[in-house]
Amino acid sequence: MSSTPRRFVTLMIHRDGALKSPSIRVPLWAARTLLVFGIVLAVAVVLGTVTHGPVVRLAARVPLLEREIERLQAENAQVRDLAARLGELESRYEQVRSMLGGDLIPRRAQGDSLAVAHPVLARAPDAPQHYELGPSPPRHWPLDEAGVVTRGQVSMGTGREAHPGLDIAVPTGTPIRAAGGGIVTETGDDVEYGRFALIEHPDGYQTLYGHASRLLVVAGEAVNAGQVIGLSGSTGRSTAPHLHFEARQGGKAIDPRPLLGQAPS
């Protein structure tokens, strides 16, 4: 019984110009093994080349990422510093607000999520210690201080420009208080009066407060006597900070000083 003959693969190597071509006789199984090994090696080289590129690119980005992290850390430190300063400013604001006697924030409509100020009551020098609650005629000086009346009432027909109220010189930011309780019927900005508020009181009285730098009430809001309704300023037709205070009855301007317990000068 004869055995299976072994098969071989002959590889010939021919060099240009040579007379002889040496050959190598390799068993078939060895040739196949070398072929498989070559294919595996080629695949490994290709895969290595494909995966090496992203790795190199990621490695190149590491210094950039480190610098970005350092920048973010510096910005976080700045944010923490600003937060600390903001907390300090808020603390100082709370101190100033408490010195003024309460929140100087305008009331908002019902259902608004913003903060709502509560009425701030105080009395002016030599004024009664008690402010009435609810609607009341204008009986109180509209400022925390007496101020200086720089211009009084001037009626039409006197040869001078009509002036229906009192101009009271006070620093900008002085709290303006309602002279009586009532309903704020109008607020806004006027060419003459600047930023103003008009309050309707019982018995046909009205009071008007002009040239404010800021209003703390809105139209339709009910206010009590002595409630802070704004801060004095110099808006509108004004040459210096002051409050224009005007009292009316039946739609006609009247001298407010008798209402406030002061004799006309």
Tell me: do 143 and 225 sit in the same domain. yes
Taking the C-alpha atoms of residue 58 and residue 66, their distance in angstroms, rounded to an integer, is 12
Residue 185 in tokens: 């019927």
pLDDT band at 217 (very low <50, low <70, confident <90, very high): very high
Residue 252 in tokens: 């006609």
Q: What's the whole-number mean pLDDT along residues 24-33?
A: 76
Tell me: do 117 and 93 sit in the same domain. no
Tell me: do 59 and 130 sit in the same domain. no
User: What was the pLDDT predicted at 22?
Assistant: 77
Tell me: do 248 and 170 sit in the same domain. yes
pLDDT digits (tens, 9 = 90+) for 99-145: 554 444 444 444 444 444 444 444 455 555 578 888 999 988 888 77
Q: What percent of the chain has pLDDT over 90?
A: 19
CATH number for the domain including 112?
2.70.70.10
Taking the C-alpha atoms of residue 125 and residue 140, their distance in angstroms, rounded to an integer, is 11
Average confidence score pLDDT of the chain: 76
Q: What's the whole-number mean pLDDT along residues 230-251?
A: 88
Domain boundary among 100, 132, 166: 100
| Better pLDDT: 36 or 3 | 36
Tell me: do 79 and 183 sit in the same domain. no
Taking the C-alpha atoms of residue 195 and residue 186, their distance in angstroms, rounded to an integer, is 11
Tell me: do 116 and 60 sit in the same domain. no
Amino acid of residue 96: V
Select the highest-mean-pLDDT range: 14-18, 91-95, 98-102, 141-145: 141-145
How distant, in Å, are the alpha carbons of 105, 181, 195 from that of 215? 9, 17, 7
Torsion on CA atoms 209, 215, 221, 227, rounded to nearest 10? -70
| Better pLDDT: 43 or 21 | 43
Per the structure, the count of domains in the chain is: 2
pLDDT digits (tens, 9 = 90+) for 33-70: 888 888 888 888 888 777 776 777 777 777 887 888 88
pLDDT reading at 215 higher than 70: yes
Tell me: do 216 and 254 sit in the same domain. yes
Residues 6+ positions from 25 with CB-CB distance below 8 Å = 8, 9, 10, 11
Which residues span the domain enclosing 38? 1-100
Q: What percent of the chain has pLDDT over 70?
A: 75
pLDDT band at 198 (very low <50, low <70, confident <90, very high): very high
